[in-house]
Chains A and B, each alone.
Chain A
Amino acid sequence: MIYKVSYVIVGGERRGAVINQDYAPEVGAQVELGDQLCEILEVQELVPPMGDFAYLHVTCRPLGKVPPVAAP
């Protein structure tokens, strides 16, 4: 199953994101959206699945900036 997920960031610099992923988002999990690290607060089905796709709407809150990757 492919999950087409709409992430809405409540209170963040960025409003949200839309991403296709091969795993279902879960409440409490963390996700990187741009340079923001967010915690998932709520997951709901937006419309019924069609074919191999599920359509989800996720509300999350910003935890802070994603730490920059150190140069090797």
Chain B
Amino acid sequence: MDITPSVLHTMDLFTGLSEEQLTAIARIGRVAGFHRGDIVMREGEQSTSVYVVLKGQMEVVSELAENTTSLVILGTGQNFGEMALLDAGPRSATIRCISAEATVLIFDGAALLHFWEQEPKVGYRMIFNIARDLAFKLRIRNLTAVVPNEVMDL
């Protein structure tokens, strides 16, 4: 799968970047393919790579206290792994592929931070986009916390 600016333009991590900036950021990423059941990252691991789903669906799973809980499905355009890039903590959840095939764009954390230092306008924009995405997820969490997980009486 070719990583063109037009592809990245549909991913909110890259919104606000020029075509030239998108081309430059694509150069430091690599594309990887996954199949159903593949583990992309595991809870507790130490890594700062950041991932963007280009195609397919990933499931975010918590394995705390030996109970496996499905938290959310991440589809096209969603990024994950950014928390560990920001706070250097262990992975907070396991990510596994649940579609027949998936394609993911992967950025090494150190390479991404170095690129942002070299290109601070890109760094500002992408950090802003990450913050906005985390705010989006927090709003969803706040909304879903008050929705009972049972069939609504319709």
**Interface set of A (CB-CB < 8 Å, partner B):** 2, 4, 6, 8, 10-11, 13-22, 33-35, 41, 46-47, 50-53, 55, 57, 59, 61, 69
Contact = CB atoms under 8 A, between A and B. Distances in A.
Contacts of B99: 34
B82 interface: no
A10 B108 CA distance: 36
A66 to B, nearest CB: 11
Contact of B11 (A11, A17, A20, A55): A20
Contact of A11 (B76, B98, B150): B150
Secondary structure of the B contact surface, majority rule? loop
A10 B147 contact: yes
B21 interface: no
B55 to A, nearest CB: 11
Contacts of B140: 6, 8, 16, 18, 46, 57
Nearest to B73: A17
B142 to A, nearest CB: 11
Contact of B15 (A14, A34, A35, A53): A53
